[in-house]
């Protein structure tokens, strides 16, 4: 079945450590996104990528980095510069062109807890 | 910048009854999408319903329907014959249809969410 796989589902890290969250999709979608979810604040966009080797900052990119070396993969690194990294992270994707019906398709998320 | 507001942090409904979740948004654009997503305890975001702003007819998906008031910038979700499985967090979201590049391409702007409880 086609879908978006995020790993790990749960991750614990000490302060000051960089962590990388994986996002892989086999939907042949061109665009991919990373959102952060905090209680009472909805989802906020961290980074997005429309095509391979290209990505743009979202609303809260500080302290995060991404890469898009393959169409299927869009990993997110939470760096030690991120002041409050404990959150739920959601990866999403979207097709372009005729298959684009507007909505994003989401993975199951990764819960990061920094101790 | 576009903003989306959900003024009801929590709502509850009896099984088989009807409930309406509110959403308002602010935009200067005329062509856009609006969505309602459901996030059950599993945390996976599931699309409930989609509305394109140029369509005057309100979208309907089985027990889910919307009341889209473009001039008032209001987009409420009505759930009829509520079921226990409808219990979840519901998010309203906005997306421009603008396709000529720009930093907002494809970006969804979400409201704060409404927690829906369904009582048996």
- Grouping H, G, I as helix, E, B as strand and the rest as coil, residue B36 is strand
Cβ of residue A88 closer than 8 Å to a chain B Cβ: yes
Of B33, B43, B112, the CB nearest to A88: B43
- Grouping H, G, I as helix, E, B as strand and the rest as coil, residue A59 is coil
Judged by CB atoms closer than 8 Å, whether chains meet at A50 and B105 is answered as yes
- Decide if pLDDT at B100 tops 60: no
Of A56, A101, A106, the CB nearest to B45: A106
Q: Give the mean pLDDT of A27-36.
A: 94
In b/e form, how buried is each residue of B13-45, taking b as 16+ CB within 10 angstroms? beeeeebebbbbbebeeeebbbbbbbbeeebbb
pLDDT at residue number B99: 62
- The string of pLDDT tens digits covering residues B1-58 is 789 999 999 999 999 999 999 999 999 988 899 999 999 988 899 999 999 999 889 9
Judged by CB atoms closer than 8 Å, whether chains meet at A58 and B95 is answered as no
Cβ of residue A61 closer than 8 Å to a chain B Cβ: no
pLDDT at residue number B103: 45
Q: Give the mean pLDDT of A2-19.
A: 92
The pair of structure tokens assigned to B94 is 């906005």
Judged by CB atoms closer than 8 Å, whether chains meet at B110 and A48 is answered as no
Q: Give the mean pLDDT of A43-58.
A: 93
Judged by CB atoms closer than 8 Å, whether chains meet at B43 and A103 is answered as no
pLDDT at residue number B53: 92
Judged by CB atoms closer than 8 Å, whether chains meet at B106 and A88 is answered as no
Q: Which residues of B touch A58 (CB under 8 A)?
A: 107
Contact present, A89 and A21 (Cβ < 8 Å): yes
pLDDT at residue number A98: 56
Cβ of residue A97 closer than 8 Å to a chain B Cβ: no
Q: Which residues of A touch B103 (CB under 8 A)?
A: 56-57
pLDDT at residue number A102: 77
- The string of pLDDT tens digits covering residues A55-85 is 999 999 999 999 999 999 999 999 988 889 9
Contact present, B59 and B66 (Cβ < 8 Å): yes
Judged by CB atoms closer than 8 Å, whether chains meet at A102 and B97 is answered as yes
- The string of pLDDT tens digits covering residues B43-98 is 899 999 999 999 889 999 999 999 999 999 999 999 999 999 999 999 999 998 87
- CA B17, CA B36: separation in Å to the nearest integer? 19
Q: How confident is the model at residue A39 (pLDDT cuts 50, 70, 90)?
A: confident
- Decide if pLDDT at B104 tops 50: no
Nearest-Cα residue of chain B relative to residue A3: B44
- Mean pLDDT, chain A, whole residue set: 91
């Amino acid at each position: 079945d086609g879908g978006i796989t995020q790993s790990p589902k749960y991750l614990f890290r000490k302060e000051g450590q960089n962590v990388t969250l994986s996002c892989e999709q086999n939907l042949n979608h061109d665009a991919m996104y990373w959102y952060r979810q905090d209680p009472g604040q909805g989802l906020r966009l961290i980074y997005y990528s429309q095509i391979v080797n290209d990505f743009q900052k979202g609303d809260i990119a500080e302290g995060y980095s991404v890469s898009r070396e393959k169409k299927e993969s869009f990993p997110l690194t939470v760096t030690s510069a991120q002041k409050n990294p404990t959150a739920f992270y959601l990866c999403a994707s979207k097709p372009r062109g005729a298959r684009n019906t507007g909505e994003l398709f989401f993975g199951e998320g990764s819960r990061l807890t920094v101790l | 910048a576009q903003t989306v507001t959900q003024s009801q942090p929590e709502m509850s409904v009896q099984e088989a009854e009807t409930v309406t979740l509110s959403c308002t948004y602010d935009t200067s654009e005329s062509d856009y999408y609006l969505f309602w997503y459901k996030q059950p305890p599993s945390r996976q975001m599931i699309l409930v319903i989609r509305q394109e702003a140029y369509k005057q007819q309100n979208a309907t998906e089985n027990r889910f329907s919307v009341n889209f008031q473009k001039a008032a910038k209001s987009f409420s979700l009505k759930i009829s014959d509520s079921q226990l499985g409808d219990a979840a967090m519901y998010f309203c979201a906005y997306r421009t249809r603008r396709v000529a590049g720009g930093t907002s391409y494809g970006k969804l702007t979400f409201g704060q969410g409404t927690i829906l409880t369904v009582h048996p």
